[in-house]
Amino acid sequence: MIDSSRLKLNQTGFNIIDAPVIMDATYQSLSPTKAYFTYHINAQNFDVRKAYNEIKIFHDLAPSAANAQGVVSIDYNLSGKLNSEMYPVYPSLKGSGVLSVKSVQMKGFKLMNAVSSATDKADVKDPDLSKVDIKTSIENNIITLQRVKLRVSGFRPRFEGQMSFDGKLNLTGRLGLPPFGIIGIPFTVTGTQDNPQVHLRREKDSDKIEETTEEPDTDEQ
């Protein structure tokens, strides 16, 4: 539907990467080089590796999926601006939602493998995950991860913190030890997604990631 130069899509259903998708979206031109959009997607039981390889925005929002094989679902709201090439202006993005893991194998997952090495706990390397809801929000070029709790080979790791779109990490966590996770090893993760640095300590102010705000527009009328 087109209303006052705004394009709207309501409850639009289609298939992508062999999965059913329901989408709501709006698009409104702001200038010859920028547009504003809102987007809500609900996709159920899709192949996480195929999504990472074929959908650019999923590739950027879920970089750890590069190491995943299995089935996930997503329910996410996103808004922001598009540039002249119809690509998101990342500092303008705001959003929140849930990535639901049904059954995923995280082979070569650098973050968990770095935790395994730092804590000398080989059993948490290359975890198999199931029935985990990963909740995130987006603002000022940073993805904020709410606390997520896992169960891996008797261990109970948990994470929370921030990731930037250019790959920087600032996560805090705790590796709960068997049998019940009452005793645990605290850690922080800095560095990048390609080279995570695990420290067996609590978070410092210097670990925080600098936010990137959107530059003021000069071409909107």
Query: Closest Cα to residue 51, out of 108, 109, 104?
Result: 104
Give the residue ranges of the chain where pLDDT is below 50: 221
Q: How many CB atoms lie within 10 A of CB 66?
A: 16
Bridge partners, residue 152, by sequence: 155
Q: According to the model, what pLDDT value does residue 180 have?
A: 83
Q: Determine the Cα–Cα distance for residues 6 and 213; give it in Å rounded to an integer.
A: 26
CA distance 8 to 85: 20
Instruction: Give CA–CA dist 188/6, Å, rounded.
Output: 45
Q: Model confidence over 97-116: pLDDT tens digits?
A: 998 988 888 877 888 899 99
pLDDT in tens, 172-212: 999 999 988 889 999 999 999 889 999 998 777 777 788 88
